Amino acid sequence: MAEYKLRTPLSEDVIRELNVGDVVYLTGVVVTMRDTGHKRAVELLSKGERLPVDMRGLALYHAGPVVRRVGDRWEVVVIGPTTSTRMEVYEYDIIEKTGVRMVIGKGGMGPRTAEACKRFGAVYTVYPGGAAALQAEQVRRVLDVHWLDLGVPDAMWVLEVENLGPLTVVIDSKGRNLYEEMYRMARRRIDEEIYPALGIR
Amino acid sequence: MSSSLEDRLLEATVKLIEAAAVWLPSDVEEALRRAYEVEDNPVTRSFLKAMIDNVEIARAKRLPICQDTGVVMFYVRVGDRFPYIGLLPSILRRATVEATRRIPLRPNTIDVFTGRNPGDNTGRYMPWIEWELVEGVDYAEVTVLLKGGGSEVVARARNLTPAEGLKGVMKYVIEAVYEAGPQPCPPVIVSVGIGANVAIAMKLAAKGLIRPVGARHEDPEVAKFEETLLQAINSIGYGAHGMGGRVTALDVHVDYAPRHPATLSVAVAMNCWAARRATMRIYADGGIEYTTHPHLNKEVV
Ligand code: SF4
């Protein structure tokens, strides 16, 4: 395991160096989208239209913040990752067409995302779910917001972050998926050690 | 009823919800700190460290521990001689609205048919209230549980055949934890209900989530079953957020009711590490006592 401090825009070379299990602290710009945001983004992109933000080299974050309006600015009260599997159906297209280099979420993603990471040079990382107050301290400010018609959590928030982390690489660009390996290990332990010890099966 | 009593109970309940949202109960926090001590995988430790730091920041700044502040559920144990029972339903509902605005909580109640989110965490049957009548006492004990979504997608229930027995129950629970993987934000609290039908089993499982971490079932046989399951689950090796480690569950709670001759129903509910709950007692004289968050007793309600 290695630890990296990275800065956006993220280059393909840097991203391709990362391995599953590496820990990243990210400084720069992240853009949030949940499932409804992904759906809209994919629809726009498939019509050849542009997204409100050029996401090349940026990080895409599966998150819906709790925000507060202070004067004419927005302030993040707390923010944390949401379950990424809901975005699995969209992510290949998003990675391919936006040039985003890092996806941040929780809970893991599937083979299509892994395929996109390998092909286009991206990684999927997880942030410890639930650590929302800590993370709010890592958000410097809200740079912009789009698609507020989707509701506050589902809008596209453009955030400036400083040392956002710990982010663990769960899918790298070399074809490894940490959670899949973990499921396999767990299966082996259950079948070979836990069940025999309990006299199950 | 004097309006001042009503106002006080309302304010006390808003405080209760706030305590749950921003201040992790000490039994859960201590269990997280123990997990940090026993893990040696550096990534897992860095995650646990972030979670513990987060608990401290949330408490100091009065911020929600997690951005998913869940659905608001109340468990009320009410004495048959408690004088203010008629006040409670409207107070619990109004406190939910006020707490949503004040803390703030994320508005999480979306009408299934209209898609409308009223923005205040209320709705048909919401906040959810479970009543339990306690004979011979004159106080009410109100527990609020803020139940997040991530740990809910992994809940399940099934009718086993009686022949599958308690071994079958164990297997069902272990498979539930296996399949849940990192989704419910482990280390989790696993709660198991067993009974004659899935309604009873799930009700018992859901209620087990408000039992403190470390509190064993009063029946030694059941307590042993809980410990066996806890050890088995922690041998799976997921650790915090699936980063690999010894603590996948902070605790396992089991409760049961008799089965039917033809059925053995089992239900599994889970709560994430951010197991946010708070309990207060309302006494017959209108006095309030916070039992999970005793520091609040010093503040004038
Ligand atoms: S499972 Fe719990 S800790 Fe994780 S994101 Fe949901 S509410 Fe927060």
Domain containing residue A70: 3-176
Interface of B with A in 31-90 (CB under 8 A): 42-43, 46-47, 50-51, 53-54, 57-58, 61, 63-69
Q: What is the pTM of this model?
A: 0.95
CA distances from A129 to A135, B68, B207, B241 (A): 10, 10, 24, 8
What H or E segment, with its residue span, contains residue B71?
A: strand B71-79
Q: Is residue A146 part of a domain?
A: yes
Res. A40: pLDDT tops 60: yes
DSSP state of B89: H
Ligand 1 near B148 CB (within 6 A): yes
Tens of pLDDT, residues A91-121: 999 999 999 999 999 999 999 999 999 999 9
Query: What is d(CA B195, CA B201) in angstroms, rounded to the nearest whole number?
Result: 5
Ligand 1 near B105 CB (within 6 A): no
Total residues found in chain A within this entry? 201
Domains (ranges, CATH) in chain B? Answer: 5-22+65-148+276-298 (3.30.1330), 156-271 (no CATH)
Going from the Cα of B286 to the center of ligand 1, the distance in angstroms, rounded, reads 35
> For residue A50, what are the contacts with CB-CB under 8 A and spacing of at least 6?
A44
- The neighbouring-strand residues paired with A3 are A23
By Cβ distance, the residue of A166, A186, A199 closest to B238 is: A186
> For residue B222, what are the contacts with CB-CB under 8 A and spacing of at least 6?
B254, B255, B256
Strand A73-78 relative to strand A3-7, pairing: unpaired
Q: How far apart are the first and last CA of chain B?
A: 18
Task: Return the HEC string of chain A.
Answer: CCEEEEECCCCHHHHHHCCCCCEEEEEEEEEECCHHHHHHHHHHHHCCCCCCCCCCCCEEECECCEEEEECCEEEEEECCECEHHHHHHHHHHHHHHHCCCEEEEECCCCHHHHHHHHHHCCEEEECCCCCHHHHHHHEEEEEEEECHHHCCCCCEEEEEEEEEEEEEEEECCCCCEHHHHHHHHHHHHHHHHHHHHHCCC
Query: CATH number for the domain including A104?
Result: 3.20.130.10
> Largest alpha-carbon pair distance within chain B?
58
Phi, psi dihedrals of residue B241, rounded to the nearest 5°: 55, 25
What H or E segment, with its residue span, contains residue B83?
A: none
Residue of the CA atom closest to atom 6 of ligand 1: B150
What pLDDT is recorded for position B286? 94
CA Rg value for chain A = 18
Query: What is d(CA B75, CA B78) in angstroms, rounded to the nearest whole number?
Result: 9
Select from A79, A87, A85 the least CA-distant residue to A130.
Answer: A79
Going from the Cα of B141 to the center of ligand 1, the distance in angstroms, rounded, reads 26
Q: Taking each helix axis from N to C terminus, what angle separates A178-189 and B165-180, rounded to the nearest 10 degrees?
A: 170
If 0-12 CB within 10 Å is exposed, 13-18 middle and 19+ buried, where does residue A43 land?
A: exposed
What pLDDT is recorded for position A68? 87
Ligand 1 near B149 CB (within 6 A): yes
Tens of pLDDT, residues A150-192: 988 899 999 999 999 999 999 999 999 999 999 999 999 999 9
User: Is the Cβ–Cβ distance between A125 and A102 less than 8 Å?
Assistant: yes
CA distances from A193 to A188, B135, B228, B245 (A): 8, 47, 14, 16
Q: Is residue A142 part of a domain?
A: yes
Ligand 1 near B239 CB (within 6 A): no
Q: Is residue A195 part of a domain?
A: no
- The neighbouring-strand residues paired with A78 are A66
Q: Is residue A145 part of a domain?
A: yes
A186 contacts on B by Cβ (under 8 Å): 178, 181, 236-238
Q: Is residue A183 part of a domain?
A: no
Select from B207, B163, B300 the least CA-distant residue to B217.
Answer: B207
Query: Buried (b) or exposed (e) across B33-43, using 16+ Cβ within 10 A?
Result: eebbeebebeb
Tens of pLDDT, residues B44-59: 999 999 999 999 999 9
Q: Is residue A141 part of a domain?
A: yes
Q: How far apart are the first and last CA of chain A?
A: 37
Q: Are B178 and A186 an interchain contact pair (Cβ–Cβ within 8 Å)?
A: yes
Q: Is residue A62 part of a domain?
A: yes
Count of A-B CB contacts under 8 Å: 148
Total domains in chain A come to: 1
Predicted interface score ipTM higher than 0.90: yes
Q: Is residue A76 part of a domain?
A: yes
What pLDDT is recorded for position B2? 54
Tell me which chain B residue has its CA closest to the CA of residue A24: B43
Tell me which chain B residue has its CA closest to the CA of residue A22: B43
pLDDT in tens, chain B (301 residues): 456 999 999 999 999 999 999 999 999 999 999 999 999 999 999 999 999 999 999 999 999 999 999 999 999 999 999 999 999 999 999 999 999 999 999 999 999 999 899 999 999 999 999 999 999 999 999 999 999 999 999 999 999 999 999 999 999 999 999 999 999 999 999 999 999 999 999 999 999 999 999 999 999 999 999 999 999 999 999 999 999 999 999 999 999 999 999 999 999 999 999 999 999 999 999 999 999 999 999 875 5
What's the mean per-residue pLDDT of chain A?
96
pLDDT band, residue A201 (cuts 50/70/90): confident
- The neighbouring-strand residues paired with B249 are B188
Residue of the CA atom closest to atom 7 of ligand 1: B148
